[in-house]
Amino acid sequence: MVKAGTSEKGDALVIIEPSEKREVYVESKIMAIYGETIRKTVEEETSGLVARIAVKDFGSLEWVLRARIEAAIRKFRGEEK
């Protein structure tokens, strides 16, 4: 399992775990307003990745979310080691 980001205000926490099928979970305090936009960004950035992807949003701007997803994917692929 890899994690990127934090639970601080304006940030997002992205967790990726190995899985045999692709699963995407999105959670946000502002789900009702931005849920669709967040989900769309997550789908775009993780497209084709077969894993369990969980995103907790804490009011992040789109570029922050993209940065955290990129960090998580690169860690998942073993780059941090």
- Where on the chain is the footprint of another protein (CB under 8 A)? 4-6, 8-11, 60-61, 63-64, 66-68, 70-71, 74-75, 79-80
Tokens of 15: 């967790």
| Least spacing, CB of residue 77 vs another protein, in Å | 12
Q: Residue 24 or 71: which CB sits closer to another protein?
A: 71
- Min dist CB 13 to another protein, Å, is 10
Q: Helical H runs in 26-76?
A: 31-46, 62-76
Burial class (CB in 10 A: 0-12, 13-18, 19+), 80: exposed
Q: How far is the CB of 62 from another protein (least distance, A)?
A: 8
Q: In this structure, are residues 15 and 68 in contact, taking their beta carbons and an 8 Å threshold?
A: no
Question: Cβ closer to another protein: 56 or 75?
Answer: 75
Considering the complex, state which of residue 10 and residue 18 has its C-beta at the smaller distance from another protein: 10
How far does the chain reach from its first CA to its final CA, in angstroms?
A: 14
